Amino acid sequence: MPGAIGTKRIGILLAKAGILWAFLGLFIILSILSPAFITPNNLMNVVKQMSVNGIMGIAMTFVLILGGIDLSVGSLIALTSVCAAFFARQSLELPLIVPIAVSLLVGVAAGAINGFGIAYVGISPFIMTLAMMSCLRGLAQVLSNGTPIFGLSKQFNGIANGFVLGIPNLVYFLVVILIIGIFVLRKTVFGKWVYAIGGNEVSARLSGINTRWIKVVVYMSSGLLAGVCGVLMASRITSGSPIIGVGYELNAISAAVIGGVSMSGGTGNLLGTLVGALIMGVIQNGLDILGVSAFYQQIIQGLIIMVAVFLDIKSKSRI
C-alpha cells in the first residue's frame, strides 16, 4: 500500500532528524533565556570547548559501530599529553613534529594493544579497554613523576590556542577529522566492513572479510585520535598532565549514543555524533552562563542520554 509506505518513510526521516530538532530547540531556548549565549564569541567558545569531545566522539563512533567499546581513551589522552609535553619543552628545542609524532605513535601503539587483545586473544572489548584504562593512567603517572610537565614551546602552545581567519584552530581540527571520518565510513570499503562486522560478525567472516584485522585497525584509529587529542589538550593547557581526561570516554560514548549510534553495533553515523557532541557542549555552556551549578549539569547530562535513547527506541519500534 503506497500510503503506508509513504508515511513510513517520513516517519523514518523525522526520527533520524529528531536530535537535530532537539538541538535547535535547545539552542532557541538558551538564546531566549540568556542573550549572552548567542554572541559569536560565545558560540565560538562552545565549539572550541566541545572539539576534543567531538574528536573522541568520532573515534568512539567507529568503535561502537564495529560492535566494540573503548574505555581507555581518557587515560590514553593523559598519557599522550605527557609524552607530547615531554618532547615539546622549550628547553629541548626539538622541531614541532617530534612531540606530535611521539604522541600519535604512542596512541596507535596503545590502540594496537587493545585491538590485538580483543581480536586475536579474544578478550571482550569492555574488559580489555577497562584494563588498559588503568594501565595507561598508571603509565602516565610514572612517566611524568606524578606532576604536570610545564615550559612548553610557544609554537606548541599555539597549536590549540591559535586562530586562523578568526576561527580557533581546534575547530579546524574537528572539522577536518570529521570530514575524513565521514569519507571513510560512508565511502570506503573499509567503512562498509566496519558496519558489516558490527551488524553480524559471523556473517561478515563467512563472507570472506578479515574481521580480526579490521578490528585492530579500528582500535588503532581510536588510539591515533586519542593521540591527537593528547597534543591538543597539552597545547591548550600548556602542560602535559597525567590527571586529565578522566571521564572522556564516557563523554565520547554519550555524544555517540545521543547521536543515534547503537551500543550493539551495526548502526549509526558521524553527523549524529557531531550533533550529540554539540548538544552536550551547548547545554554545558548554556547552563554555565545561566549560573547553574556543575552538579546539576551532571544530572541534566545523564537525563539527556536517557531521553535520547528512549526516543531512539521509540522510533525503531514504530518502524
Partner 1 sequence: MTRVLEMKGIVKSFSGQIVLHSVDFEVMEGEVHALIGENGAGKSTLMKILMGEFPCDKGEILLRSAPIGVVSPAAALNLGIAMIHQELSPVPDMNIAENIFLGREPNRFGVVNTRKQENQTAELLSSLGLGFDPRMKMRDLSVAATQLVETAKAISYNSRILIMDEPTSAINEAEVRKLFDMIRLLRSRGVAVIYISHKIDELFEIADRATILRDGRRVAGGQMKELTRQQLISLMVGRELTEVFPKVNATVGDVVMTVRGLTRRHEFRDVSFDLHAGEILGIGGLMGAGRTEIVSTIFGERRPDAGEVRVRGRALAAGSTREAVQRRIAFVPEDRKNLGLNLSGSVADNLSIVVEGRLSNAGVVRKRTVEKAVDRMIATLSIKVESRNQRVGTLSGGNQQKVVLGKWLLSEPDVVILDEPTRGIDVGAKAEIYRLIGQLAASGKAVLMISSEMPEIMGLCDRVIVLHGGALIGELSRAELSQENLMTLASGMN
User: Terminal CA-to-CA distance of the chain, rounded, Å?
Assistant: 15
Contact 68, 136 (CB under 8 A): no
Three-state secondary-structure class, residue 237 = coil
117 binds partner 1 (CB under 8 A): no
Of residues 121, 164, 202, 306, which one binds partner 1 by CB under 8 A? 202
Distance (Å, whole) CA 265 – CA 268? 8
124 binds partner 1 (CB under 8 A): no
Query: Which residues between 261 and 280 bind partner 1 (CB under 8 A)?
Result: 266-267
Q: Give CA angle at 228 (271, 267), nearest 5°.
A: 30
Three-state secondary-structure class, residue 240 = strand
190 binds partner 1 (CB under 8 A): yes
CB-based contacts of 135, cutoff 8 Å, min separation 6: 75
Q: Beta strands 167-168 and 163-164: pairing type?
A: antiparallel
Stretch that binds partner 1, among 56-64, 169-177, 202-210, 299-307 (CB under 8 A): 202-210
199 binds partner 1 (CB under 8 A): yes
86 binds partner 1 (CB under 8 A): no
Site string (208-247) toward partner 1, x via CB under 8 A:
xxx-------------------------------------
Please work out the total of residues on this chain that contact partner 1, with binding judged by CB under 8 A.
28
- Which residue has 579546524 as its cell numbers? 172
Of residues 124, 188, 293, 298, which one binds partner 1 by CB under 8 A? 188
Binding-site ranges for partner 1 (CB under 8 A): 1, 3-5, 7-8, 187-193, 195-196, 199-200, 202-210, 266-267
